[in-house]
Structure 1
Amino acid sequence: MSRRVALVGAGPGDPGLITLRGFELMCSADVVVADFLIDERLKQHIPRHVRIVDVGKRPGRNSMSQDAINAELVRLAQTHNLVVRLKGGDPFLFGRGGEEVDALLRAGISVEVVPGVSSALAGPAFAGIPVTHRGLADGFLVITGHRHADAPLDYDWRSLVGSGLTIVILMGVAHRKFIAQSLIEAGMDPATPVAAIESVAWLEERSIRTTLAGVADVALSSPAVMVVGRTAGLELPWKRSTTLAGFKIQLLRPFDPSDELALRLRDRGALVVQAPAIEVQDPSDGGAALRSAIAAIQEYDWLIFTSKNAVERVVKECHDLRSLAHVKIACIGTGTQAALGRHRIGCDLMPPDFVGESLVESFPPGQGRVLLPRARVGRDVVPHGIRAKGWSVDVVEAYQVDIGTPRITLDQARMMDLVIFTAASTVDAYRQQYPGVMPKYAVAIGSVTASRLRSAGVESVHMAREFSVDGILELVENLHASIETS
Structure 2
Amino acid sequence: MTVHLVGAGPGDPGLLTVRGAEALATAEVVVHDRLSAADLLDLAPAAAERIDVGKAPRRARLSQDEITALLVERGRRGQRVVRLKGGDPFVFARGGEEAAALAAAGVDYEVVPGISSALAAPAYAGIPVTQRFSSTAFTVITGHEDPSAGEGTVDWEAAARLGGTLVVLMGVARWPRIAERLLAGGLAPDTPAAAVHWGTRPDQRTTRATLATLGDHPLEAPSVIVVGRVAASRLSWFEGRPLFGRRVVVTRTRSQASELSRALRALGADPVEVPVIEVGPPSDGGDALRGALGRLASFDWLVLTSPNGVERTFAHLPDTRLLGSTAVAAIGPGTAAALARYRVVADLVPERYVAEALLEAFPSPSPDGGRVLLARAEEARAVLPEGLAARGWDVEVVPAYRTTAATPTEGATSALAGADAVTFTSSSTVRRFVEAFGPEAVPPVVACIGPVTAATAQELGLEVTVEAEEHTIPGLVAALRAHWAPG
TM-score by length of 1: 0.86
Note the aligned Cα RMSD (angstroms). Answer: 3.2
CA contact (8 A) 2:313 2:400 kept: no
Moved more, 317-326 or 377-386: 377-386
Distance in 1 of aligned mates of 2:432 and 2:139: 48
Indicate yes or no: 2:380 matched with 1:381.
Answer: no
Shift of 1:273: 2.1
Indicate yes or no: 2:47 matched with 1:49.
Answer: yes
Q: Match for residue 329 of structure 1?
A: 328
Describe how 1:94-173 pairs up with structure 2 within 5 A.
94-149=92-147, 151-154=149-152, 155-173=154-172
Q: Which consecutive residues of structure 1, in runs of 5 or more, have no partner in the other structure?
A: none
Moved more, 308-317 or 438-447: 438-447
Partner SS, residue 188 of structure 1: coil
Indicate yes or no: 2:474 matched with 1:464.
Answer: no
Q: Compared with structure 1, are the counterparts of its residues 258 and 185 closer, same or farther at alpha carbon in structure 2 (3 Å cutoff)?
A: same
CA contact (8 A) 2:139 2:165 kept: yes
Q: Match for residue 221 of structure 2?
A: 222
Indicate yes or no: 2:447 matched with 1:443.
Answer: yes
Distance in 1 of aligned mates of 2:478 and 2:32: 38
Shift of 1:363: 3.7
User: Aligned AA for 1:444?
Assistant: C
Describe how 1:246-395 pairs up with structure 2 within 5 A.
250-255=249-254, 269-271=267-269, 273=271, 275-283=273-281, 287-289=285-287, 290-364=289-363, 369-389=371-391, 390-395=393-398
Q: Compared with structure 1, are the counterparts of its residues 34 and 245 closer, same or farther at alpha carbon in structure 2 (3 Å cutoff)?
A: closer
Q: Match for residue 9 of structure 2?
A: 11
Partner SS, residue 43 of structure 2: coil
TM-superposition CA deviations, 1:32-69 (whole Å, max 9, x none): 22222222233333332333222222445441112221
Distance in 1 of aligned mates of 2:343 and 2:257: 18
Distance in 2 of aligned mates of 1:34 and 1:295: 49
Partner SS, residue 201 of structure 2: coil
CA contact (8 A) 2:307 2:335 kept: yes
Q: Match for residue 64 of structure 2?
A: 66
Distance in 2 of aligned mates of 1:11 and 1:305: 42
Partner SS, residue 398 of structure 1: strand
Number of residue pairs matched by the alignment: 480
TM-superposition CA deviations, 1:394-441 (whole Å, max 9, x none): 331424343364698767656655544312233344454586455454
Q: Compared with structure 1, are the counterparts of its residues 285 and 85 closer, same or farther at alpha carbon in structure 2 (3 Å cutoff)?
A: farther
Q: Compared with structure 1, are the counterparts of its residues 252 and 435 closer, same or farther at alpha carbon in structure 2 (3 Å cutoff)?
A: same
Shift of 1:344: 0.5
Shift of 1:226: 1.4
Distance in 2 of aligned mates of 1:381 and 1:344: 29
Distance in 1 of aligned mates of 2:102 and 2:293: 52
CA contact (8 A) 1:454 1:461 kept: no
Shift of 1:357: 2.9
Q: Compared with structure 1, are the counterparts of its residues 87 and 380 closer, same or farther at alpha carbon in structure 2 (3 Å cutoff)?
A: farther
Indicate yes or no: 2:99 matched with 1:88.
Answer: no
Q: Compared with structure 1, are the counterparts of its residues 275 and 476 closer, same or farther at alpha carbon in structure 2 (3 Å cutoff)?
A: same
Shift of 1:214: 2.6
Q: Match for residue 207 of structure 1?
A: 206
